Amino acid sequence: MDFTDLYINGQWHGSDERFDVLNPATEEVLASVASADIKDADAALDAAEAAMADWAARTPRERSEVLRKAWELMTARLDHFAKLITLENGKARADAMGEATYAAEFFRWFAEEAVRADGLITRAPASGARIIVQHKPAGLAVLITPWNYPAAMGTRKIAPALAAGCAVIIKPASETPLTMLALMPLLEEAGVPPGLVNVLPSKKTGALVDHMMHDPRVRVVSFTGSTGVGRKLLKGAADQVLKPAMELGGNAPVVVLDDADMDTAIEGTMLAKMRNLGEACTAANRIYVHESIADAFTARLTERMAALKVGDGSDPSVDVGPLVNADTRDKVAAFVADAVAKGAKVECGGETPDGTGYFYPPTVLSNVPENADCVHDEIFGPVAAIQTFSDTEEAIRRANDTEYGLVAYVFSADMKRAMQVCERLDYGMVGLNRGLVSDPAAPFGGTKQSGLGREGGHEGMLEFMETQYISASW
């Protein structure tokens, strides 16, 4: 079956309008996908409301077993999902396989967390009454996912919501809805009842989401995407006092101290920069290297970046696929042009190739000035912007000098010194001597304008639960 329609109440539904999904490597149409409207949103809300009552009443172990089965099924089909991710997102085969594996792991992690919504019983010191604290499903959840991780950003929200006992309506990104739609038959097979998970691709995202957020049955809105869109959603959420979970933009600094192990720093920076082609909120954006090792670091990083093979991600030998669309590619090119005009030096890459596909080569810029646009905004592409610093205090100050606070990276061989730096960085997450922080078992999220709440870890399930306190005497 061609899964390109709306998925509501366990059934596939067509729509009055459709939109095309493109392969970013070839610019060819992959599929025509149904576009949901307000009546479809209402049908999904009705289905979710009906399904949640039974699901929330199930034991934690019953919910856990369904999620565990989803992990087993997805793990057995990683190759299928990786191919689909590459087709609609463009990322290289190895990167897509990594995402599929990561996405499946959220089902296993939250299968284990579903039975651990621990409460508390204690006694009030003054009255002697029993204080009973328990966690209950918050209610219907609207999930809005981005195009850069079409599988993982969905499962990172679906799994904790189901573990908590909630029903969900998912609005996937218009660039990449196919992976999420293809996940639905798997969830059916795992035992997810009809109506509990609904998928509404749409080109009318703003109106559709706003309508659902103003339905009194919706109690949670979970969004991953830009800070600008997140601010708008928070304003809408205020009308209904919804529980928001917002994973927003980043501007990740990499701080390479003078005592860093060079091999570790290069490997970590490559991973932080080039995972998902740099199209990630966790991607290294500003690379601060101590002036005493900057030349050696730049030469090593340039050698590694220049050696990466660019091409269609479906070719197993390719390291770097296309960016997701023309606008993203052109924005990356504009960042490079701006930095060069202001004095940066191109060490490798830096030129948009001719031909079909939204490709941009791995690029290293050195001597990047502080007023370059790429220092202050997310690059969201394969461009490593290197700056130097002379002392640690300067590095910390410059790393914190941004409205964002999602993730930072620190490289140092002195663990005491490194931990002191980490603790002074105003970020929700820090990678210490490693370029990867994302893990289903860890609370993913940021400070400042990078969002509210956490995804993953035990905290991820609590985002879909309300705390109830009962004062009792007996």
Q: How many CB atoms lie within 10 A of CB 54?
A: 12
Pairwise CA distance, residues 84 & 324, whole Å:
14
Q: Token digits for 368?
A: 């990047």
Residue 120 burial (CB < 10 Å; 0-12/13-18/19+)? Answer: exposed
Query: Which residues are known catalytic residues?
Result: 247, 281
**CB of 403 closer than 8 Å to CB of 449:** yes
**CB of 408 closer than 8 Å to CB of 319:** no
Pairwise CA distance, residues 395 & 405, whole Å:
15
Task: State the distance between the two ends of the chain, measured CA to CA, in whole angstroms.
Answer: 59
Q: Which residue has the tokens 């390719």?
A: 318
DSSP track, 303-353: HHHHTPPBS-TTSTT-SB---SSHHHHHHHHHHHHHHHHTT-EEEE--SPP
Q: Which amino acid is at 215?
A: D
What phi, psi does 185 have (nearest 5°)?
-60, -35
**CB of 35 closer than 8 Å to CB of 203:** yes
Pairwise CA distance, residues 167 & 369, whole Å:
48
**CB of 352 closer than 8 Å to CB of 317:** no
Pairwise CA distance, residues 50 & 36, whole Å:
20
Q: How many CB atoms lie within 10 A of CB 223?
A: 27
User: Could you tell me whether strands 407-411 and 429-432 are parallel, antiparallel, or unpaired per DSSP bridges?
Assistant: parallel
Count of alpha carbons within 13 Å of 207, Cβ hemisphere only?
9
Q: How many CB atoms lie within 10 A of CB 148?
A: 25
